[in-house]
Structure 1
Amino acid sequence: MTAPLSEALRDATATAHSEAERSAFVTDLVEGRACAAAFTALATQHLLIYRALEDVLHTHYAGHPLLAPVADRRLDRVPALRHDLEVLVGPDHEVRLADGRLPICVATSAYATTLRDRHTPEMVLANHYVRYLGDLSGGQIVARLVHRHYGVPTDGLTFYSFAGIDKPKVYKDGYRARLDQIPLTAVQREAVLEAAVQSFAANEAVFADLAAARTPLHSAAGVGG
């Protein structure tokens, strides 16, 4: 008997998920060995990634049968990220992003470009699952640790708060149930699983770039630490 898609995704991505969580950048950030500017650098990468994902989702797949069951504007992170960067960097954060004063990692550019230029419904569904379920699962813990370790203001951590979703666990259970009801062929299902693993790999590459470029990227982010 074929496992539900949510279980298959969990099993297929278990190793990649663990590797991403154990990356040097993430462990340093949550264990207090980084700085406030490290978090700002991460938020900057997130803005490009989520902007690409949400632009593609809402432009091309809003009513698509593979995406409609899980697409929910309450999950959108771009408005929160823009707000956070305004708090952390200033009202000119978009200008600084455009002119390179807020640096973008090579891996981030590659990830965003893949989402924009090579998207398929299966890829978008996989990234939707990986990103939003991850944010709903561990976001509040990350926000608390970043606030505690580096004094990042709570008003600059709204990326990790989902307005209108009062009970994340209940929402996640419902999300998985809707995911399991999406009609997929065997080929589509395999494509979703493969794209989910690739999504974790892309995320891990972003973390690796942030760790490797820590000093220049975090200094340029302008929060200090």
Structure 2
Amino acid sequence: METTISAPLSRALHDSTMVAHEQAENAPFITRLMSGEGTPDGLVALLRQSLPVYEALEDACRRVGSDPRLAAILDPRLERTAALHADLEAHRVQGRSCDVLVPAAEMYAAELRACASDPAALIGHHYVRYLGDLSGGQIIKTMVRRHYGLEEGLSFYEFDIAKPKVYKDGYRAALDALALSEADRASALAAATRAFELNHRIFVDLEAAGIR
């Protein structure tokens, strides 16, 4: 069995983040939202926290987009900032808005902005956010539509990608082909775990704020 050290990068990213990933997806805030025990306001609050995170991620990617350690996985079809703005406006028109920006979201955005000087770390964040949106994000969309009857304000979870599975396979292959030093690889792996930890902290902060 391959170790995290010798495994292809996509496998190493998956395996090294399993514990942090499980912790995030089992946070009470998100499990309540997914089970139908939350409210549409909870989704709006989550989208609001996501906006500065994606603004920072996408700005950092643009700043270092020509770096060969990162360029192969960048794709404007993945960008979510415009969709988040549109979704928040759609919810606002329907009377749902969120003015709360929790500390963890601000911390997450700050760390992503700092990644403009560390493209290898940006790989880990890019992997967690966008592959998550193409996978678990689709489940969130399905569940909130089912439980809360929402048909608008969900474009964040919609991609101009005809075959997501094929795309994800190609993304993983591109990750595995990146020419990284051992230090770069370690930075990418650490950043991916950190991304899940920060995501979990956002859920914890939303819970503490009494948002359902």
TM range (shorter): over 0.9
What is the aligned partner in structure 2 of residue 5 from structure 1? 9
The match for 1:188 is: 184
Task: Tell me which amino acid in the other structure corresponds to 1:123.
Answer: A
TM-score, scaled to structure 2 = 0.92
Identify the residue that residue 200 of structure 2 maps to in structure 1: 204
**What is the CA–CA distance in structure 1 between the aligned matches of 2:108 and 2:71, rounded to whole Å?**
23
SS state at 2:156 partner: helix
Aligned to 1:61: 64
* Alignment equivalent of 1:116, drawn from 107, 113, 118: 113
Of 74, 77, 84 in structure 2, the residue corresponding to residue 74 of structure 1 is 77
1:39-63 alpha-carbon deviations (Å, 9 max, x no partner): 00000001110011001111x1111
Supply the distance in 2 between the matched residues of 1:194 and 1:182 (Cα, whole angstroms).
17
- Which moves more between the two structures, 143-152 or 17-26? 143-152
Mapped to 1, the partners of 2:133 and 2:82 lie a distance apart of 15
3-state SS in 1 of match to 2:73: coil
Q: 2:155 aligns with which of 158, 164, 167?
A: 158
Q: Distance in 2 between matches of 1:63 and 1:53?
A: 15
Which 4+ residue blocks in structure 1 deviate beyond 2 angstroms?
none
Task: Decide whether the 8 Å contact of 2:121 with 2:188 is kept in 1.
Answer: yes
Alignment of 1:96-175 (within 5 A): 102-119=99-116, 120-152=118-150, 154-163=151-160, 165-175=161-171
Give 3-state SS (helix, strand or coil) of 1:30's partner: helix
Post-superposition shift, 1:141?
1.6
Q: Does the 8 A contact of 2:44 with 2:88 survive in 1?
A: yes
Alpha-carbon deviation of 1:118? 4.9
Aligned to 2:50: 46
Name the CA distance, whole Å, in 2 between partners of 1:130 and 1:141: 16
Alpha-carbon separation, structure 2, partners of 1:7 and 1:52: 26
Aligned counterparts of 1:89 and 1:56: Cα–Cα separation in 2:
28
- Number of paired residues? 206
Q: How many Å separate the matches in 2 of 1:54 and 1:12?
A: 24
Q: SS of the residue aligned with 1:69?
A: helix
Q: CA deviation at 1:117?
A: 3.2
Partner of 2:36: 32
Judge conservation of contact 1:36–1:151 (CA < 8 Å) in 2.
Answer: no
**CA RMSD of superposed structures (Å):** 1.7
After TM superposition, the score normalised by the length of structure 1 is: 0.87
Q: What is the letter of the counterpart of residue 161 of structure 1?
A: E
